[in-house]
Amino acid sequence: MSKPSLKSFLLEAVEEAYPDAHKLAIKEGKLAKFGVRIPQESEYPTVCPFSIDQILDEDFYGL
């Protein structure tokens, strides 16, 4: 018997949540201040550009 994997669940969760995150990023991006360039809507990727491994990797974000 194989162990169930959460990876497929996480992939589905990211795919489901990303459209809302995309809209929120655009909305928040329009509020940029202090000389920060406001990106055009077309600059935001419509599909999550990060893999599940990158999302879960604490070092990926440079923290």
Residue 61 DSSP class: G
pLDDT digits (tens, 9 = 90+) for 5-36: 777 888 999 999 999 999 999 999 888 888 88
Residue 35: the pLDDT is 86
Q: Kindly state the helix (H) or strand (E) to which residue 23 belongs, with its residue range.
A: helix 7-29
Give pLDDT, residue 7. 78
Amino acid at 57: D
What is the pTM for the complete model shown?
0.71
